[in-house]
Amino acid sequence: MIECKNLTKVYENGDVDTTALKAVSFHIEKGEFVAIIGPSGSGKSTLMHILGALEVPTSGTYFLDGKEVSQLNDDELSSLRQQKIGFVFQAFNLLPRTTVLRNVMLPLLYTDTTKSEREERAKQCLKYAGLEESKYYNLSNQLSGGQIQRVAIARALINNPAIILADEPTGNLDTKTSHIVMQAFQELHRKGHTIILITHEPEIADFAERIISLRDGMIESDKKK
């Protein structure tokens, strides 16, 4: 599903070049649950941006579902993100004065689906993400951190993406709630979803079946559990 060959990313700032990734190569099969871990400055955020089609590499190739992402223009990257990638962020990125159901429906507003279809799909995704039905019409700022992250997971699923890309999804949660959210990701993995988790916490990475460790812009290890 994902194949990266010699990904290199260099950021230019005047006369100073900073190399964030150095010839990184790996592949991820459909249905894998992979954690990418590393300390600050390791290159994991840059790699996440490339895998999420938010940036393109300076050199090297990135294939997603057979399409070479590294050669796409901005409009093509935007379309790919909408069709192939579901994002779950540390900051949740939900609208606070909007109901849970409407937050999950938002990615479908500019599609040709009817309101009833959008609502039904949103309810299915919320159920899939494990949020109790009694919360569907609550405002998102009336939920706990763990409940909000489940809403974010449901929203990531709404377009049936090829991969779910989770960027530090437990960063704002306490330990108990973090484990509950990670168990939700494990359940999605058991149901066949491909999940890529970005984290700096070894305890969170251990929920994945494979851990890719980065340091100084290079892969330090790549181990299956």
At 220 the three-state DSSP class reads: strand
Architecture of domain 30-54+86-224: 3-Layer(aba) Sandwich (3.40)
- What integer is the mean pLDDT of 67-87? 89
CA distances from 14 to 58, 114, 174 (A): 16, 50, 41
DSSP 8-state code for residue 26: E
Q: What is the pLDDT of residue 108?
A: 87
Find the radius of gyration of the CA atoms of the chain.
18
Q: What is the pTM of this model?
A: 0.88
pLDDT digits (tens, 9 = 90+) for 93-147: 788 889 999 999 988 887 888 999 999 999 999 998 888 999 999 998 899 888 9
pLDDT digits (tens, 9 = 90+) for 186-222: 988 998 899 999 999 999 999 999 999 999 999 999 9
Rounded to a whole number of angstroms, the distance between the first and last alpha carbons of the chain is 20
Angle, alpha carbons 102-100-135 (nearest 5°): 140
